Structure 1
């Protein structure tokens, strides 16, 4: 299978232009029909379930939602309140996590004759219902989570049925397309829940479907909408970059034909699903009164990333990525964009880039790239925004953020991949990280050291020198690789609402861009540190270390020892920051546990809230970096 065999031809030179004033239909466009559902057989369904069941056992035991009982020789048992027991083999790893072997799973339940019968276990949905009373959730939450879990399984089973690229083939795939081959959040069990998406919506708009999408452009009256950009970027410059002359003229004619002045409106893209399911409903009054006017489809095609709401231009890759709200619930939150994020994005970008681009260590030695969120449009709902405590899903339905694309910053022979891609395992069981190491010609430990230096050194420098942290999870953190597939520099994105600063005094930060609106969350240094610990160490190295032991022959102990040495080498190089090393200590013996799955199933459940809630720690974890 060639690396492009499942991707539509993106040459749009012969594609017919969409009618200018027509909003998109809920059906797929004629040039890009909804792909058929792959035929999912019983074998694929069982295998997808078996893998997810093993993941659920590992993560729910890790978060202490379930209590594993050791039976010796790497075997464990979980007894559930329903009277069933699950047994499995698992290998203990860092932070008290266990990697469960899917082939080892058995389920025991008391039969009609009173004896306990063990059978191979593969049904993740049955496991959820078996575990319901032990998890401590309520029936309503269980039913909604059941839907999220079933949706995740449907995608996973379809992927298994369809097959996929080998790890070797993925080496040749570009950044945008590679995102479409990933399998979702590695920590969250129901990582493709996508509440509000139908099955056809998933086939049309989810990243794994790899279907190019045309965005709808709309004009929003300036009484509702506000454009903001960095100091060097005007509204007209954004439109000139994103739309060619003919398209801008076509859109202007739509407005003048209605007797409307084009300059009285802010122009912006909208996701076609969002237009149909949120804007035409919540903003029906504004559409009827021509405060919101559909202009027509984008001439360019876009592919969604793993977040679904961030779209990358594949027709003209140098144009901006676009982050758009979607009224779907996925991986813990509704995927809208808060107005404070759209308002704050350009000013936070401007501040960060002015601060960090003036740092020669970051720019010259590390050559770190900060992909700025350079422009935005904010649209507040004219009625609901006036009411206190309205759930946030209703207030974040329209707006956009334009972000610098990877393609505009990468070198000619450089490949850029997400940090999360290293954890990908192909259908033959080969980890992408193992394929990259083998292709590089370096021995595994030397390659890993290049990874740790590339990833950790810039993050530590920003943390210790400036008291700033990003949210460096697998999609926000990108790695640039040289022509030998060796990591050599870091790319960071998603600044607004994901950048936090310590509330301690840090002179190196200079004046901060708060003004009257608080756009930079201020947190205790221990919480700032936790962003790095959770997202890099717990969220990714926890899974990467056993992959490296299994497929590269690097023992987990050696993996963590090398990570610790990377941190200590940084400390030795910058002794003037000694007090900061203690303030943001990455080597403490215990770290707080933030239980992501437990938060959805037990704590937050599906309560409709006015604000995104903060996670609170649930116990502690032993830190593998505390000792050699």
Structure 2
């Protein structure tokens, strides 16, 4: 053995670090200009520059994409600053962290926000650079992976520049618990006294039914023996899983009194292994995939919010699922023609902190540390031979520069435009039907929206998940919805139809099609204008069919207008850096529009 311990090898090499920075710098310039945080000056021949208050200028070439977005060429960016001799020197630019500091005054933010956002940016760069260093599977290899394994290969939300901030995780935590680490882990199980914990389930599920489904008989006997050995009555406790990081970093600290007084009793590890999805807190069972996915709180800050689970969400999840099933199961179009799958959040455990929950205006990060939601798994609902992949996976590009969407189209044998029309029908038709008929929308971003494919990789149907707190209903009277759950204001927020419509526009069109259309142009030969024309035609074809089936509801096309010339701009990056920043809040906040975008769907011809 060596006399001295051998240090861990670095996750990244210098070239990968520079390339990760170069790519993120281009993304930051493009997104911050898109959200009107920075102003561009056209310099001709596809050239632009951004003049910063710091006296530095960044110049680059870009193509104008849908919604007025500038697709910045990473290799074209130069930085010009006044040197010590007083002359201006232009040099190739690659440092995204330097850009943040130089742009801070122009962005209109404060030093505290810059420093904390720097942490998120650095964490994101570290993960991106490690991926570039170690490579990864080709898109052809990714095509053979199952849903859970493919999730671990994805790279985070596209709309956000610092999309893997994970404040609270250490570097070793990232290597152990982040989805890209793809490290299976066991969950901790605890028993929580019924004075603190409340189980809820859909009408067909009891507390014992869920536990018997999730834990084998030997494990249940072992856990019961732990409680008996502690001298407590097993029937006086609710059993639930806890993420091992949360148990170590939050539960044993904030609930130290409850653990000490046997109100919370650790039972042991699950025999099953789990993998995290892109949200990190949702775990999929890889030992027994048909068992439930489980959503667990983590006291980390990632993609704008603390990743706990609000008590109103754990309490409301089964109620919302029961209500949605009532809509879906009596709708022959959704169940018969579309075969849409709603992955229900069927059971939950809510735990209120005995002291902090009584503190008025307590920051929400401290109130959401213990609880769980069980959700139906993809594996339990998919057909034999069916592949299910997140909508976001279509945007994935491998180390060779090949896009996953192009690989699936090649595999299908269809012409690109025909394949895209199949995709648009599968994705948009169920969303529009629920929107127009029921005045209901989901939060259909790339991780919540999944596509089922046949054996030839042709899109066939839509899967939707993550309902509670993400399902919204219009405040207008919609008789087709029928009776709504009591206390719906918390679990089913009522919003203006224009805001309901915006969920589809922002998450599908701005959040994904904006990035998908240039990939299809570059790798499938489908011009962006053709792409958006196909999307528009999908909407018009559906409206024509909907008008035939429900002529009395035609007025809802205008109420939830997807084709309006201008759409409100909701800036997620601006919200973090300029508006909300990092102040502790009692509640998650609402986003407010800042200007508008031109809608590429407004008229024939597209972008």
Question: Which TM-score band applies after superposition, normalised by the shorter structure?
Answer: over 0.9
In the aligned structure 2, how far is the partner of 1:249 from the partner of 1:398?
24
Q: What residue is the counterpart of 1:109 in the other structure?
A: 81
Instruction: Kindly indicate whether residue 268 of structure 2 is the aligned counterpart of residue 268 of structure 1.
Output: no
Q: What residue is the counterpart of 2:530 in the other structure?
A: 558
Instruction: Kindly indicate whether residue 435 of structure 2 is the aligned counterpart of residue 459 of structure 1.
Output: no
Cα drift, residue 39 of structure 1? 3.7
**Within-5 A mapping of 1:167-566:** 167-515=139-487, 518-566=490-538
In the aligned structure 2, how far is the partner of 1:322 from the partner of 1:502?
29
Instruction: Kindly indicate whether residue 64 of structure 2 is the aligned counterpart of residue 92 of structure 1.
Output: yes
Instruction: Kindly indicate whether residue 586 of structure 2 is the aligned counterpart of residue 610 of structure 1.
Output: yes
Residue aligned with 1:375, SS = strand
Q: Provide Cα deviations, 1:78-130, integer angstroms capped at 9, x if missing partner.
A: 11111111111111001110111111111111111111101110000011111
Q: Provide Cα deviations, 1:316-355, integer angstroms capped at 9, x if missing partner.
A: 0000000000000000000000000000000100010111
Indicate if the aligned counterparts of 1:414 and 1:481 stay in contact, CA closer than 8 A: yes
Residue aligned with 1:546, SS = helix
Instruction: Kindly indicate whether residue 124 of structure 2 is the aligned counterpart of residue 152 of structure 1.
Output: yes
In the aligned structure 2, how far is the partner of 1:532 from the partner of 1:256?
51
* Residues 1:241 and 1:37: Cα distance change in structure 2 (over 3 Å): farther
Indicate if the aligned counterparts of 2:24 and 2:161 stay in contact, CA closer than 8 A: yes
Q: What residue is the counterpart of 2:573 in the other structure?
A: 597
In the aligned structure 2, how far is the partner of 1:518 from the partner of 1:96?
35
Indicate if the aligned counterparts of 2:469 and 2:490 stay in contact, CA closer than 8 A: no
Cα drift, residue 387 of structure 1? 1.3
In the aligned structure 1, how far is the partner of 2:353 from the partner of 2:556?
43
Cα drift, residue 517 of structure 1? 6.8
In the aligned structure 2, how far is the partner of 1:419 from the partner of 1:393?
29
Instruction: Kindly indicate whether residue 113 of structure 2 is the aligned counterpart of residue 141 of structure 1.
Output: yes
How many residue pairs end up in the alignment?
594
Q: Provide Cα deviations, 1:176-205, integer angstroms capped at 9, x if missing partner.
A: 000000011101000000001000000000
Q: What residue is the counterpart of 2:36 in the other structure?
A: 64
Residue aligned with 2:428, SS = helix
**Gaps (5+ residues) in structure 2?**
1-6
**Gaps (5+ residues) in structure 1?**
1-34
Residue aligned with 1:531, SS = helix
Q: Provide Cα deviations, 1:259-301, integer angstroms capped at 9, x if missing partner.
A: 1111100000000000011101110110010000000000000
Superposition TM-score, scaled by structure 2 size? 0.97
In the aligned structure 2, how far is the partner of 1:574 from the partner of 1:44?
51
Cα drift, residue 38 of structure 1? 4.8
Q: Provide Cα deviations, 1:588-624, integer angstroms capped at 9, x if missing partner.
A: 1111000000000000000000000000000011111
Q: Provide Cα deviations, 1:405-462, integer angstroms capped at 9, x if missing partner.
A: 0000001110000000000000000010011001110010000000000000000000
Cα drift, residue 36 of structure 1? 5.8
Q: Provide Cα deviations, 1:522-576, integer angstroms capped at 9, x if missing partner.
A: 0000000000000000000000001100111101011111111111111111211
Indicate if the aligned counterparts of 1:37 and 1:203 stay in contact, CA closer than 8 A: no
In the aligned structure 2, how far is the partner of 1:37 from the partner of 1:603?
40
Residue aligned with 2:38, SS = coil
Q: Provide Cα deviations, 1:4-58, integer angstroms capped at 9, x if missing partner.
A: xxxxxxxxxxxxxxxxxxxxxxxxxxxxxxx966541110100000000000000
Instruction: Kindly indicate whether residue 564 of structure 2 is the aligned counterpart of residue 588 of structure 1.
Output: yes
Cα drift, residue 515 of structure 1? 4.3
- Give the RMSD, CA atoms, in angstroms: 1.0
In the aligned structure 2, how far is the partner of 1:439 from the partner of 1:251?
48
Residue aligned with 1:498, SS = coil
Q: What residue is the counterpart of 2:600 in the other structure?
A: 624
Superposition TM-score, scaled by structure 1 size? 0.94
Cα drift, residue 358 of structure 1? 1.1
In the aligned structure 2, how far is the partner of 1:288 from the partner of 1:456?
52
Instruction: Kindly indicate whether residue 21 of structure 2 is the aligned counterpart of residue 45 of structure 1.
Output: no
In the aligned structure 2, how far is the partner of 1:54 from the partner of 1:618?
22
Indicate if the aligned counterparts of 1:476 and 1:493 stay in contact, CA closer than 8 A: yes
Residue aligned with 1:64, SS = coil
In the aligned structure 1, how far is the partner of 2:523 from the partner of 2:86?
44
In the aligned structure 2, how far is the partner of 1:520 from the partner of 1:441?
42
In the aligned structure 2, how far is the partner of 1:37 from the partner of 1:421?
30
Q: What residue is the counterpart of 1:12 in the other structure?
A: none
Instruction: Kindly indicate whether residue 54 of structure 2 is the aligned counterpart of residue 82 of structure 1.
Output: yes
Residue aligned with 1:303, SS = strand
Cα drift, residue 228 of structure 1? 0.1
